[in-house]
């Protein structure tokens, strides 16, 4: 079994975090097969057969990326049956920023700028109002406490390292140092591992094409310029953020 899973909400940076962790010499990372979301053939042998073999070196750990697990109601109980002591690296970002990035990546990728905000409002708010449509799936994804509560029925909060995805994009070293301590692996990542691409305004691994991207910032900013949209979304998520804070026992910049 992996020592840890990287999980998180869509567009929070989980996949990039996993890729960067995989460059650590004491980490063997891989993108999972979503095994525990599969309703059939939940046999331990079937799962172990798909795992890469981790070296038997001291502090060598296997980390699986299974990003959709966080919101899947079936996974916590199933995973607990296989390994109740596994750890989780949970990366989340400001739910308002995450929602906008999600929309731009899916709905607004090829949309003309003048239609972008209008379409966003049509999907996110109830008709002819600024009342948030809480039934809209991308909105629900940002109700983080709801999903975490499900996990905490089976695992202790101490088994989770909660990372701020927004901070990860601007200060990757801070997040990676926390991961090294959490996984009890040797200190490896240094400032020299990252370089700021000034054109894209993104941190990238030195000498590699892997960057911590927040998506199409220009289009996201077009939506964020509407202060009424931003205020109503912030008001909607505030009580959800507070409940999430109560579970994790600490605040994040966007709470």
Going residue by residue through the chain, which has 255 residues, state the pLDDT in tens, using 9 for 90 and above. Answer: 788 999 999 999 999 999 999 999 999 888 877 888 875 555 666 777 777 665 545 568 999 998 889 999 999 998 998 899 999 999 999 999 999 999 998 877 678 877 888 899 999 999 888 999 999 999 999 999 999 999 999 999 999 999 999 999 999 999 999 999 999 999 999 999 999 988 888 999 998 889 998 888 888 988 999 999 999 999 999 999 999 999 998 888 876
| 82 closest CA partner among 45, 125, 128 | 45
Residue 21 CA to residue 59 CA, distance in Å, equals 14
In total, the chain counts a number of residues equal to 255
pLDDT value at residue 39: 57
Residue 245 CA to residue 251 CA, distance in Å, equals 6
Q: Taking the model in full, what pTM does it have?
A: 0.92
Residue 155 CA to residue 181 CA, distance in Å, equals 20
C-alpha distance from residue 58 to each of 3, 20, 26, 42, 249 (Å): 13, 20, 8, 30, 32
DSSP character at residue 74: T
Q: Per CATH, which fold does 4-248 belong to?
A: Rossmann fold (3.40.50)
pLDDT value at residue 57: 55
Domain boundaries, the chain: 4-248
| 173 closest CA partner among 196, 199, 144, 151 | 196
Residue 215 CA to residue 106 CA, distance in Å, equals 11
Asked if 215 and 202 count as a contact pair (C-beta separation under 8 A), the reply is no
Secondary element (H or E) of residue 196 = strand 194-197
């Amino acid at each position: 079994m992996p020592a840890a899973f990287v999980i998180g909400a869509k567009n929070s940076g989980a996949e990039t975090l996993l890729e960067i962790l995989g460059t650590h010499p004491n980490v063997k990372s891989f993108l999972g097969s979503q095994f525990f979301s599969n309703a059939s053939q939940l046999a331990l042998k079937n799962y172990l057969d798909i795992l890469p073999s981790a070296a038997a070196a001291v502090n060598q750990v296997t980390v699986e990326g299974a990003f959709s697990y966080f919101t899947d109601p079936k996974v916590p109980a199933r995973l607990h049956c296989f390994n109740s002591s596994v750890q989780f690296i949970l990366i989340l970002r400001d739910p308002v920023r995450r929602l906008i990035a999600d929309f731009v990546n899916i709905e607004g990728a090829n949309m003309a700028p003048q239609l972008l905000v209008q379409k966003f409002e049509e999907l996110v708010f109830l008709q002819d109002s600024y009342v948030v449509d809480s039934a809209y799936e991308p909105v629900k994804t940002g109700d983080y406490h709801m999903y975490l509560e499900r996990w905490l029925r089976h695992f202790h909060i101490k088994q989770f390292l909660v990372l701020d995805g927004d901070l990860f994009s601007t200060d990757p070293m801070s997040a990676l140092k926390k991961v090294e301590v959490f996984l009890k692996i040797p200190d490896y990542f240094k400032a020299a591992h990252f370089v700021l691409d000034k054109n894209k305004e993104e941190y990238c691994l030195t000498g590699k094409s892997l960057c911590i991207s927040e998506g199409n910032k220009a289009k996201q900013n077009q939506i964020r310029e509407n202060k009424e949209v931003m205020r109503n979304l912030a008001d909607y998520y505030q009580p959800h953020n507070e409940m999430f804070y109560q579970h994790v026992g600490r605040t994040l910049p966007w709470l």
